[in-house]
Structure 1
């Protein structure tokens, strides 16, 4: 019987210890704040027949889909990111069939197939250590919650059957620290970069900050501004539109943690790929 490990027991441990807890099934929770200094990634796994279109979707939408590594068909290893076996090294996986979320599982041993291709996409959890060290608190980490994520009315650029609205993550930031937070996160293009918007959520079509589509509601207090970053859950919206027969993603907030450092230039991603705007509507930032 596997002895379960808590989030607080893993805080501050090196990446190999965190991954061992995940791989063994001892830990199945969110990964915000774990293995600080290491790259965290979103996950999409598709049959090879759908992989070319999804790779193009990532190329056209690098802010929400910064592709940092891509696997070979049928190979569950992702050596570009370290000692990774994708079948066991994510705390929780969402399994889609015909575009519908069918189940959430904690390993892929029985689901792995010879035609599956892994895509690892950078995650904003990567830059949170830098924000905290610069005196910008992350309330979802201090409260042991999953960062709130919201569907927006901003459309991504389509590729084949993959299309749909941008998803954003939200962090409350004190008004006087928003500019500093933007400058810090701009140094992480492989993890979504600078925020897309700060201020009125209605600009993005978000009606209620207390009702996130994924994750947990986080209070925005007096003197704070809701700040929104492009989010790697965006592909899960696109998967609902494309309706591939079979697809696996990470469960939102439950990321793959790489051995590579947070700044490491890995895989297919290049900072030069990030245009001023990926989207069909103009990005706006207000305070």
Structure 2
């Protein structure tokens, strides 16, 4: 790993998960196959900061983060999700049973998102082409820093097998079917935080799925059918989300649509020969 490489975010040359001094691998914050599956068409990629559209989508966010062993550990959970939850031609509306690996998969994403947001200096709104999009990439409020650091450590210990549950730092999964929210786009990949009405979560948007990593709970916000069971659960049941989250996500989808259109128009002006989708 090159210390000053553009993909370097850690202030140390150790695996962010196990802490071993090692040559770090380029790790995607969101599993690579989510971005890869939408690269071939006229789809939208939100790479943490800058919404952009075809014909030249960039790779989704990746940084030097994990050693080879930890990268392999996380890859096993990612493979289980890809093969059992999102195989080709399988309806997302049909009930799907999952095992204890699902919580590992979700926590691995929430941990990567929060680790990236902690160390990366690239997560700045200066890079956002549409300034109306800035509100969806807030910094964690200072009075929540302690809880965020605790969540990061709990998720880390859980992934390393040092503890058997995540306690209050639970995980939620939301399934998108294309008609849940206004302007819903099931071909978006990106991450940020949701920080409203006393609740704070990491927020990973992965095509038809959203993973929320709970950092601070709010007693006034009610969720149904979204919490990931630590042992065995079922996807496909009815899900309900709080109104404040519904409105926040609907607004985000609308801004993604606007930002993608702006970016696409700018690209066409810069290169008039790239007209086709």
With structure 1 as the length reference, what TM-score do the two structures score?
A: 0.26
Higher RCO structure, 1 or 2 (CA under 8 Å, sep 6+): 1
Name whichever structure is richer in helix by fraction.
2
TM-score between the two structures when normalised by the length of structure 2: 0.27
